[in-house]
Structure 1
Amino acid sequence: MRAAVGFRLRLALFFVATLVTVQLVTAALVYGVTRRALVTEGERQLAVNAQAFVAQMDDLSARVAGNVEVMALDYALRSAIAERDHGTVFSVLRNHGRRVGASRMQLVGLDGVVEVDTADVRASGQRFAFPDLAEHAFDRRTAAVVSLQAKAYWVVVVPIYAPQPVGLVVVYVPLDDALLAHLRELSALPGDIELAVRPGVSGWVAAAQGLKHAGLVASLAGQALPMRPAVRSIKGREYLVLAQPLSQARSSAPVVAVLGYSLGDALRPFRAVVIAWAILLGLGLAVGLIGAWLTARSVSRPVESLAGAARRIEAGDYRALPRLDRRDELGQLAAAFAAMADAVRQREEHIRQQALHDQVTDLPNRVAAEAAIDRARDAGTTHGALLMVGLTRAPDIIKTMGHSLYDRLMREVGARVGRVAASAQLARATDTQFVAWLPGADRTEAVASALRILDALNAPYVEADVSIDTLPALGIAMYPEDGTMASVLLRHGEVAQFAATGSTRPLAFYDAATDPHRTERLSLMGELREALDHDRLVLHYQPKLALASRRVDGVEALVRWHHPRRGMVPPQDFIGMAEDTGNIQRLTRWALAAGIAQASRWHARGLELKVAVNLSARDLGEAELPLRIGRLLSIHGLPPGQLTVEITERAVIGEPETAMRVLKGLADLGVGIAVDDFGVGQSAFAYLRHLPVSELKIDQTFVRHLARDANDQTIVRSIVELGHRLGFQVTAEGVEDRGALEQLAAIGCDHAQGFFIARPLPAAELAGFSFERAGIA
């Protein structure tokens, strides 16, 4: 029921959301178009209002000037001016100023000096503030808007004749709030109007604000006044604002009329439309919600029935679905659902067969084998044997004969193993391996079964005129000794099978000590990094005996690791893994630094011992290696000739160009270069003539039995002669008896190294040895 309600709700929400979206988009479009039209009309209306306001100001100027001109014809005034009767003039000007609405009247002499001022008696004797208005007053009537003390005035200047010009009457009509409101009413301006003056550089200030006091000028403080209609935000409301310059005296601060038109007031008539739209939206939402709910209800019941059937299918119940007696899409869906359930059942059976069986041999696969082993364990089986059978030549057979023949071969191999190991649970583990699980078998029974399987597979596979030897190899892992989990037992069986593949005997038991993948070896790498970080490694030095003088004049530095829990870790347990994981370069850097430092200490004590340090293939790929070694030699003050680096032929073959550059850089430093394990590489002579080598080290396989093996003597003699002809020193490794030592001396070998001379020693013991054993005979 919860699913049905959820579907109904989602459907209803979809319809409602669609309706709301359409309505909101429509409203936004209508609002945008309406607002744009109102703004355009407001801009036009604002420009018209500005012109009307200017016309009202001009009309005011004409009326005031007319009254003043009538006053100028007054005989008593002209006589008083001519007789300089300032008291009479003051009285006449004040009375007349009251009649014309002036707050200030002035009489200005022909010399531009104020003679009478009705507002400020102290102004008498001062220069007229707006001389540019007085310049043309006798030619024509002059009037302009001026700014005095941050207030705006309409100034009219009229000449006085008696009958010659005797002075100028200046009328100051204040452009204050009351006058501004009066002009606004006369011109029927629909918006707000204010006057702004700019007395200095500080910005515009309001000189008059009309009746509404919208604060247009104050709200635009710090902004440029718009000389063309523009939208501005004032007190949280949007206004169309226009600044109209007024005619003014040149000597006055600027005065402008700022007109504002509220967009909110313009949009007020549309509120009824918005309310009507909101009502329609609410009704539409209600109708849409009811319709969506009814539609979802008609769909939810058959959907619930199908959902119940789907849950039965999920649980593995493929019974026939209930059929819907309807011909619409839901009826078609129910029919298709029933067909799908039947198809899923058939495919599931097929997939189950494929998931647990090999497609080529039809034997159980690795997954099935693991399940069988785990079932035997859970059933209480106490012991058993797992036999992993592999074909050594499988890759060659595939490459040569193709996959079709190989598949037929695998079917034959499975059949042979099944015939000779009938009691075993047989499975195909990989493309090249079969596994036979023998629950309850001991080691003797496991070996007997393994030998029967090997005998059966040793017979060649014959098809037409083709005869194929499979060369089987078989590994055995015992349960529970080699693992209690099926996956572990299979993995150990594979390790044993790989071990048998690489040995002369095609049968091997799992040996944890030789398992290259055991977890202890993997954890060893992390512990090696920690040992490098905390300086827990040491170098031991194996002496090199100069056969001519029978004195020790060199050593080979060999890494030793005293593990706090494992004790002494053999180099073969971590050197190879360090190379595989990339830690070998850190190990080499540490060995170089430690070896050079020790050689420097010996050198300072007068003990001249050349120290040899081994380099890996990764080290020869580091172009900065010569610089690194050069810095170490310089830091410790060791002559470069006291250091030798040992390389193998395989290390050079990996990246020959980079290796050649690195070796040349080391040779240019004066560092000796020795080729280690010489004679066992695949390209020794091909690369030898190109390497800047100073020494060859004969591999110990040719030296260990030198005293009694004539072939080894011939090989060693040839290498020594070759090295001497090329100008190289020759060192023989692996000297384990006096006979080998004497043979090397007789052949003419330069140095010998091996356990007969000395095992690798700590630095503290080596100094004493070098003097005690100096005369080996």
Structure 2
Amino acid sequence: MRPLGFRARLGLFFVATLVIVQLLTAGLASGIARSQLIAEGGRQLIANADAFVAQMDDLSASVANSVQVMSLDDGLRSAIGAHDRETILSMLRNHGRRVDASRMQLIGLDGIVRQDTAGDAAPQLFPFPDLLKDTDGGRAAAVAVVVGKAYWVVTVPIHAPRLVGRVAVSIPVDDVLLDHMQRLSALPRDVELVTREESGDWAVVASGSSSAGMASHYRGNMPLPTQPTRVTIGGRQYLELAQPLRTPRGSPAVYALMGYSLDDALRPYRAVWGAWAGLLALGLGAGLIAAWLVARGVSRPVEALAEAARRIEEGDYRPPPQLNRRDEIGQLATAFSTMSDAVREREKHIRYQALHDTVTDLPNRAAAEDEIDEELNRYPKVEGALLMVGLTRLPDIVKTVGHALADRLMRDAGGRICRAAGNHLVARATDTQFVLWMGRADRATAIGLAFRILDALGHPYTEADVSIDMGPAIGIALSPEHGVLAASLLRRAEVAQFAAVGSTRGVDVYDPHIDPHRPERLSLMSELRAAIDTGGLELHYQPKLRLADGRIDAAEALIRWRHPTRGEIPPEDFIGAAEETGNIGRLTRWVLATAIAHVHALGERGHVLKISINLSARDLEDTELPDRVGQLLRMHGVPGSVIALEVTESAVIGEPAAALQVLRRLADMGIDIAIDDFGIGQSSFGYLRHLPVHELKIDKMFVQQLATDETDRTIVRSLVELGHGLGYEVTAEGVEDAAALDFLREIGCDHAQGFFVARAMDFGALTELCDAEGSRLT
């Protein structure tokens, strides 16, 4: 016989339908009963509001009748006619006690209070003139608020036989009166008389036996409910309705705020709901017994599978227990076991891929960081070294031979590094870099291993007829000297590796002074911007000697920054950073404006001195630079021929089209263009012929040893001859002795510049030099 299936057994749980139906029925009945009670409560509130107003009217009628009896008293009339103050006050007090009034007032026809049992001696206007007007009809009554307290004010006329005055009766509408009215009628237990304070909140002036604090629900400018409204106060539910009471002009409005407790109204139904809950419990009990009978045969294997699922969630992939069942649960257990095996294999593969490079099969950067951090945390004070091995030629290799061969080259390079590194951790950091971690190693040991790796990678990679030089460069960061976190060491080793690319050794140790990412470098840029704006920079000028006649006819503008706390900051420490952070444009604009202003000042003294100003590669990207220079020249009234702009070979090579356009526009303005540091860049004379160049400045590395180095003398002689052959003037930088100066004059060099000629000086000193020599540009 086929065993009963899981679906069939689930049918037994339909007993829950009984519970659901009972719950829905109970909820529906409860909702209908509650809705009816709320509707009935609203009707009662409206009826109670009308009853409250009627009670107040009855009270005013009773008081008015009593006062009218008093007004017919001949003694009172006579006292009024005789202005007998004592008699009037005595009679007012007597009648006031009869009607529980706290204040009785006799008011003249002019509205002035003549007598007042409250003791106010000074005549004053009655504060509620509307009530006096309404008294002409026989009596008037209203609730008024005086000094934060509510009073039922009733006014009646006094005739003798003509109208001679009016009597105003003020009965306190307080908790006692409200409680009394509640006992005499069907008013709800929760009644509060409220009025609005100047702050906008509602203040309770009387509450009877109410303790609900209903007015506290309405704060600020929140209006009172004009229709029965459901609110919750202190965890209890109420229906509330505000009935406006008649108030005279001159008094704040007063409302009777009435509450109907839904909790109290629903209390009698709790017994019914208790019985209903009992029936529901019986049905639920029967359903639970039936469910338990079925679950006993189902829960155990399901729980076993659930436990196996929890183990898988925690990374434990042991197979679930075997269930010898032929039903759906048995099939589920078999599928679950198969799934567990598949998930285990996939996760193992994913974990491996997440922590390893797919090309070299080495750990990747994330895995290396984790392992290095773990060792650094375990031995924080022990020396260690991180080597960043970069293959600088890999991007060109990819472009030339494709990714497939480049990947094979990287696998070969990784193998060479691993063999040289021995047991040390080797990982692939980026597409072109490997990282190697040496625990318990000092600087010398790290440098020694770096050179062994350099030797291992120095042999070209050969495949078929292709031989490829890898171009390795290695940077080293030391722990704890350069950092105690893997991320910091990786970044700093990378900085050192980039520095090693340009070195002759191919290996470099991290130097914080050349790190472009150090925090103080960023703060220096913000301070540089402030120095530009506040005049913290100044220009110095290094004169240039015209060798033909020995006259000073030009000078190069050099920026100087004397920091208030750091002292003198060399230009190489901030100009490069300014280029990287985008501040070089602002700095160049300041130099141009200052230098051209100085040219104008020299011209005012009769001196014509050509000033050279350096431009960066970023400046040549600025297409508005010629317009700005032209504006400065026009503003100061100086020609373009009195300034020269110096650019490096690399600046022109980087963006030749854009740079050429900017340089030509500047040259069209009569400005001379000079190539600075010539001889160490990548340009050729053939390329320079297309540039509007007027002058070549030979780099100082060829000039400083002219007195002793025959090779430098040959190079400089050749550069001067070639420059003159192309129509350029030639200036030699870095002249530091007489022998070099004599040699330059001998080979026909046009200008010399260096410490032997003159050191850089401030503008004041330059002015004095010009005054002394009377230099003129001829």
Q: CA deviation at 1:427?
A: 2.9
Work out whether residues 324 and 334 of structure 1, in 8 Å CA contact, stay in contact via their aligned partners in 2.
Answer: no
Work out whether residues 546 and 552 of structure 2, in 8 Å CA contact, stay in contact via their aligned partners in 1.
Answer: yes
Aligned partner of 1:768 in structure 2 is: 768
Aligned partner of 1:493 in structure 2 is: 493
Q: Deviations over 1:156-214 (max 9, x none)?
A: xxxxxxxxxxxxxxxxxxxxxxxxxxxxxxxxxxxxxxxxxxxxxxxxxxxxxxxxxxx
- Provide the C-alpha distance between the structure 2 equivalents of 1:543 and 1:730, rounded to a whole number of angstroms: 15
Q: CA deviation at 1:554?
A: 1.7
The DSSP-based 3-state class of the residue aligned with 1:557 is: strand
1:363 equivalent in alignment to 2:362: yes
1:552 equivalent in alignment to 2:563: no
For structure 1, the residue ranges without an aligned partner over 5 or more in a row are: 1-7, 17-293
| AA at the equivalent of 1:625 | L
Work out whether residues 607 and 774 of structure 2, in 8 Å CA contact, stay in contact via their aligned partners in 1.
Answer: no
Q: CA deviation at 1:594?
A: 0.8
Q: CA deviation at 1:538?
A: 1.7
Q: Deviations over 1:730-774 (max 9, x none)?
A: 322221211121222222333211121122221122223445678
The DSSP-based 3-state class of the residue aligned with 2:374 is: helix
With normalisation by structure 2, the TM-score equals 0.54
The DSSP-based 3-state class of the residue aligned with 2:553 is: strand
With normalisation by structure 1, the TM-score equals 0.54
- Provide the C-alpha distance between the structure 1 equivalents of 2:377 and 2:674, rounded to a whole number of angstroms: 60
1:570 equivalent in alignment to 2:570: yes
- The structure-2 alpha-carbon separation of the partners of 1:448 and 1:715, relative to structure 1 and needing over 3 Å to count, comes to closer
- The structure-2 alpha-carbon separation of the partners of 1:475 and 1:763, relative to structure 1 and needing over 3 Å to count, comes to same
- Provide the C-alpha distance between the structure 2 equivalents of 1:468 and 1:630, rounded to a whole number of angstroms: 52
Q: CA deviation at 1:595?
A: 0.7
The DSSP-based 3-state class of the residue aligned with 1:549 is: coil
Aligned partner of 1:701 in structure 2 is: 701
Q: Deviations over 1:14-42 (max 9, x none)?
A: xx9xxxxxxxxxxxxxxxxxxxxxxxxxx
| AA at the equivalent of 1:677 | D
Aligned partner of 2:526 in structure 1 is: 526
- Provide the C-alpha distance between the structure 2 equivalents of 1:351 and 1:530, rounded to a whole number of angstroms: 52
1:352 equivalent in alignment to 2:351: yes
- The structure-2 alpha-carbon separation of the partners of 1:339 and 1:490, relative to structure 1 and needing over 3 Å to count, comes to same
- Provide the C-alpha distance between the structure 1 equivalents of 2:655 and 2:417, rounded to a whole number of angstroms: 46
Aligned partner of 1:433 in structure 2 is: 433
| Residues 720-735 of structure 1 mapped to structure 2, 5 A cutoff | 720-721=720-721, 723-724=723-724, 728-735=728-735
- Provide the C-alpha distance between the structure 2 equivalents of 1:661 and 1:462, rounded to a whole number of angstroms: 45
The DSSP-based 3-state class of the residue aligned with 2:535 is: coil
- Provide the C-alpha distance between the structure 2 equivalents of 1:686 and 1:441, rounded to a whole number of angstroms: 52
Work out whether residues 678 and 684 of structure 1, in 8 Å CA contact, stay in contact via their aligned partners in 2.
Answer: no
- Provide the C-alpha distance between the structure 1 equivalents of 2:758 and 2:597, rounded to a whole number of angstroms: 22
- The structure-2 alpha-carbon separation of the partners of 1:447 and 1:592, relative to structure 1 and needing over 3 Å to count, comes to closer
| Residues 63-102 of structure 1 mapped to structure 2, 5 A cutoff | none
- Provide the C-alpha distance between the structure 2 equivalents of 1:656 and 1:446, rounded to a whole number of angstroms: 42
Q: CA deviation at 1:335?
A: 7.5
- Provide the C-alpha distance between the structure 1 equivalents of 2:652 and 2:421, rounded to a whole number of angstroms: 50
The DSSP-based 3-state class of the residue aligned with 1:641 is: helix
| AA at the equivalent of 1:354 | Q
User: How well do the aligned residues superpose, as a CA RMSD in angstroms?
Assistant: 4.2
- Provide the C-alpha distance between the structure 2 equivalents of 1:715 and 1:449, rounded to a whole number of angstroms: 39
Work out whether residues 552 and 774 of structure 1, in 8 Å CA contact, stay in contact via their aligned partners in 2.
Answer: no
- Provide the C-alpha distance between the structure 2 equivalents of 1:774 and 1:388, rounded to a whole number of angstroms: 59
Aligned partner of 2:584 in structure 1 is: 584
* Deviating more after overlay: 443-452 vs 506-515: 443-452
The DSSP-based 3-state class of the residue aligned with 2:504 is: coil
Q: CA deviation at 1:645?
A: 2.0
- Provide the C-alpha distance between the structure 1 equivalents of 2:342 and 2:400, rounded to a whole number of angstroms: 41
- The structure-2 alpha-carbon separation of the partners of 1:657 and 1:375, relative to structure 1 and needing over 3 Å to count, comes to closer
**Identity score, percent:** 60
Work out whether residues 550 and 774 of structure 1, in 8 Å CA contact, stay in contact via their aligned partners in 2.
Answer: no
Q: Deviations over 1:398-438 (max 9, x none)?
A: 55565555545544444444444434233333344333322
- The structure-2 alpha-carbon separation of the partners of 1:663 and 1:473, relative to structure 1 and needing over 3 Å to count, comes to closer
- The structure-2 alpha-carbon separation of the partners of 1:725 and 1:569, relative to structure 1 and needing over 3 Å to count, comes to same
- Provide the C-alpha distance between the structure 2 equivalents of 1:471 and 1:667, rounded to a whole number of angstroms: 41
Aligned partner of 2:612 in structure 1 is: 612
Q: CA deviation at 1:380?
A: 2.5
1:603 equivalent in alignment to 2:615: no
Aligned partner of 1:253 in structure 2 is: none
- Provide the C-alpha distance between the structure 1 equivalents of 2:533 and 2:648, rounded to a whole number of angstroms: 27
Work out whether residues 561 and 570 of structure 2, in 8 Å CA contact, stay in contact via their aligned partners in 1.
Answer: yes
| AA at the equivalent of 1:571 | P
Work out whether residues 423 and 438 of structure 1, in 8 Å CA contact, stay in contact via their aligned partners in 2.
Answer: no
1:749 equivalent in alignment to 2:749: yes
- Provide the C-alpha distance between the structure 2 equivalents of 1:410 and 1:504, rounded to a whole number of angstroms: 23
- Provide the C-alpha distance between the structure 1 equivalents of 2:774 and 2:738, rounded to a whole number of angstroms: 16
The DSSP-based 3-state class of the residue aligned with 1:441 is: coil
| AA at the equivalent of 2:630 | G
| AA at the equivalent of 2:350 | I
- Provide the C-alpha distance between the structure 2 equivalents of 1:654 and 1:332, rounded to a whole number of angstroms: 70
- Provide the C-alpha distance between the structure 2 equivalents of 1:662 and 1:420, rounded to a whole number of angstroms: 52
- Provide the C-alpha distance between the structure 2 equivalents of 1:533 and 1:698, rounded to a whole number of angstroms: 34
- Provide the C-alpha distance between the structure 2 equivalents of 1:444 and 1:725, rounded to a whole number of angstroms: 52
For structure 2, the residue ranges without an aligned partner over 5 or more in a row are: 1-15, 25-286
Q: Deviations over 1:357-415 (max 9, x none)?
A: 23344333322222222221222252222233344554455555655555455444444
Alignment coverage as a number of residue pairs: 484
Work out whether residues 617 and 652 of structure 1, in 8 Å CA contact, stay in contact via their aligned partners in 2.
Answer: yes
| Residues 26-41 of structure 1 mapped to structure 2, 5 A cutoff | none
- Provide the C-alpha distance between the structure 2 equivalents of 1:453 and 1:694, rounded to a whole number of angstroms: 48
Work out whether residues 551 and 774 of structure 1, in 8 Å CA contact, stay in contact via their aligned partners in 2.
Answer: no
Aligned partner of 1:258 in structure 2 is: none
